[in-house]
Amino acid sequence: MVGAPQPGRSGKLSRDLLLEGACLRRKRSPSDADESTTLSIEPTSLSNAQIGPVLASFPCVIPPRDTAFDTYVREEDEGKEFVKRLSTIAGETETVEFFGSANEDLGSRYFLALHRPGSSKLILQPTPVYLMSRQVKAFKAFKPTGPGTLEHAQARNKLGEAFGTKKAKAAIRAHERNKVDVHAMEDVAGVLQDRIDEGTENLPTQEKMEDMANAARLIPPYNADAKRPQDIYPLHNIIPEPEWAALDGLLHKLKNATDDRSRIRLLPNARSDWLRQHLMLVYSAPKPNSKLTHSREECSREGRTIERLAPAPEAIIDSLLGRFTDTPRGSEKAQITSENETSLLTHLFSLCLRVDDYATDTALIASDLRISPARVNSLFRSLGCTIGKLSSQDLNRLGLPESVALQKRAILKAPLTFPKSRLRRRA
């Protein structure tokens, strides 16, 4: 800590005392001609607590003679001999501040010889030595700044022009030719900004872009304002009414079949575990559940044709070909593109959701279709489903045992929410 200035004259040091040296020149007056010039040397009579004159070294700038200096010592050094204290002196003029600390590493002790005119005593006063520094007041708030990027580039180019190879010099000149003159662009900046504003005023907002992206989804037409899951994808948005009417004959055969085995044989493909489970569940009840509707997935698996649906009514086959295939120009053969396949699968999955009370076992469907569960889950998410485990309330509603609680299912809830598109960062 730095203590307060010492009071009284001992706390103020004038420049005269600071500049007094050990070598004194005594002026003799005519009246002193006959007096003895012998001086007796005596130690100082100042106590340890008092501050005596000091020596100070001022490099370059020397303060005026009337500049006063204050002495500061640490509180814990109070009572020590003055020359052994850790002290600091400071003074100031109107434009410059001076400050310095006692230097203890000089390797010598210094004394001032004090002599008063008319006295025969020469008093030796031990003193510390202060190496002074200065600070111009006007520069205290000034913070020097280093060279910027432009200065670095200019200096580097000068060095390259002076000492670089031919290749380095050619690169520097090419860079200078391609450099954009910012000042030359100031006159056209306003025109460019006006053109940018005109070009961007008709750009769609983020909400419009999301609506456009949702409208382009390869899914059945949906009702975004639906309050119930069953109203999100209406039945005839998935199966047109003519197809639905053509299913009456097949449904009549299914009802009249004597057992589950004969019913499964009536299907275009009998290898689906999902269909077998649901058929047995429906017709084991006293009254068949009319929610079971059929549209077999094999029509688009691996881009094959829909000829495997031959047992189905001709009207259904024609409708599926019209909705989920494309006929290239110059050809009469219908082909299934990847977009057609995705659209067919999402129509199929929306039917599965209706039959499963909007909680479908995606692993079972992935096994039937022989495609990865990740792709099946992704397509269900594109319909607005979440993939997760059923709660106890959902298990009770669906009449499912607790053993399936750990199985993840595609769950559709209202209001409809589509997954947010992810922005991929470049590596």
Cα–Cα distance, 135 to 127 (Å, whole number)? 25
Cβ 162 vs Cβ 81: under 8 Å:
no
Cβ 237 vs Cβ 220: under 8 Å:
yes
pLDDT at 346 (0 to 100): 92
pLDDT at 349 (0 to 100): 93
Summarize the confidence of residues 251-273 as an average pLDDT.
Answer: 76
Q: Which residue has the higher pLDDT, 259 or 104?
A: 259
Neighbour count for residue 335 (Cβ, 10 Å) = 12
Task: Report which of 143, 354, 117 is spatially closest to residue 234, judged by C-alpha positions.
Answer: 354
Give the pLDDT band of residue 48 (cuts 50, 70, 90).
low
pLDDT at 287 (0 to 100): 57
Hey, what are 146's tokens? Answer: 């280093």
In sequence order, what are the residues at sequence separation of 6 or more whose Cβ sits closer than 8 angstroms to the Cβ of residue 362?
373, 376, 377, 380, 387, 408, 409, 410
* CA distance from start to end of the chain: 56
Strands (E), 62-160: 68-73, 87-92, 96-102, 110-114, 121-127, 129-136
SS3 at position 284: coil
Neighbour count for residue 367 (Cβ, 10 Å) = 15
Share of the chain above pLDDT 70, in %: 78
E strand or H helix at 387, and its extent? strand 386-389
Summarize the confidence of residues 384-389 as an average pLDDT.
Answer: 91
Summarize the confidence of residues 292-316 as an average pLDDT.
Answer: 50
pLDDT at 307 (0 to 100): 54
pLDDT, tens digit, 9 for 90 and up, residues 320-378 = 888 888 888 877 787 888 898 999 999 999 999 998 889 999 999 999 889 999 999 99
Cβ 277 vs Cβ 365: under 8 Å:
no
pLDDT at 251 (0 to 100): 75
- The angle formed by the CA atoms of residues 277, 283 and 287, to the nearest 5 degrees, is 140
pLDDT at 156 (0 to 100): 86
pLDDT at 380 (0 to 100): 94
pLDDT, tens digit, 9 for 90 and up, residues 149-176 = 778 888 888 888 888 898 888 888 888 8
Going by DSSP bridges, is the β-strand pair 55-57/110-114 parallel, antiparallel, or unpaired?
Answer: unpaired
In sequence order, what are the residues at sequence separation of 6 or more whose Cβ sits closer than 8 angstroms to the Cβ of residue 87?
71, 72, 73, 77, 101, 102, 128
Numbers of helices and strands, H then E, in the chain: 15, 12
Most confident of the following: 132-136, 138-142, 283-287: 132-136
Summarize the confidence of residues 142-150 as an average pLDDT.
Answer: 72
pLDDT at 378 (0 to 100): 93
Has residue 231 got a pLDDT over 70? yes
* pLDDT mean across residues, the chain: 76
| 30: preceding bond cis by omega (within 30 degrees) | no
pTM: 0.49
Hey, what are 292's tokens? Answer: 């079971």
pLDDT at 23 (0 to 100): 37
Cα–Cα distance, 1 to 28 (Å, whole number)? 47
pLDDT at 414 (0 to 100): 87
pLDDT, tens digit, 9 for 90 and up, residues 76-111 = 777 777 777 788 899 999 999 999 988 666 667 888
Cα–Cα distance, 197 to 199 (Å, whole number)? 5
φ, ψ of residue 420 to 5 degrees: the values are: -75, 140
pLDDT at 37 (0 to 100): 64
Summarize the confidence of residues 22-37 as an average pLDDT.
Answer: 46
